[in-house]
Amino acid sequence: MSTQENINYTRIAEAIEYINTYFKEQPDLDEVAAHVHVSPFHFQRLFTDWAGVSPKKFLQYISVKHAKQVLKNNGSTLMDAAFETGLSGTGRLHDLFIKIEGMTPGEYKNGGENIAINYSYAESPFGNILVASTGKGICHMAFAEDEQAALTVLKSQFPNAQLRQMTDLIQQNALYIFTHDWSKINQVKLHLKGTDFQLKVWEALLKIPAGQLSTYGNVAAIIDKPKASRAVGTAIGSNPVAFLIPCHRVIQSTGLTGGYMWGSTRKSAIIGWEAARTLQEN
């Protein structure tokens, strides 16, 4: 990500965090712009270029009231929507492309021994990321403010793998998700290290359409474990592939966004960004 793009996203994130903190006071455009040290005119244009909607409209998308309405609308039809194949809008198509393949018990147990992993750093609308792949698919993707720290996490997940910094076609195809350039995308495959339970939870997350939200309880119901909400939450929290496996679409039943491995502000940013694009398409 260029220096200016990084500054722009940082300002957007600061604005979202400020809005989330002081939403009860309903801060106006001038106040939020002053907080991120730009003019109201420039901030309005910057935010709209990034999100596709005005700051005021974006605030509506990340509000508790909006989240509750989305959950209510999903309600009884979430199970049907999860397996729907006729999704409208290019922004939702990635749910149909992504497939999970679990690593073998030996690969899981031995920390990726004899597995070659390519990794690279890339940019996204939500900050820099580290993406890694085996010959079978994406095995890791994480937002990475600190590249070295992100690499340390990858190494801890696959301590015995052969790591090489290189961008490959598997990574490039996966990264098209941020641009919605679906004319070039191939079927994205994930090659994941996880228990059978974790893999089931991550597969369920892939069935939540972009722009929609679910709860931990709903995900537990989808995998036929209605009493396992806490275990589902733990599995969601250990998601190894940011954004592609959309754990950001799971929120609390109260409408609050809840926690996120890569920061609650980033989670709000992604939820609002997806909502804006989905509603524009429809």
Residues taking part in catalysis: 247
What is d(CA 14, CA 204) in angstroms, rounded to the nearest whole number? 32
What is d(CA 262, CA 244) in angstroms, rounded to the nearest whole number? 14
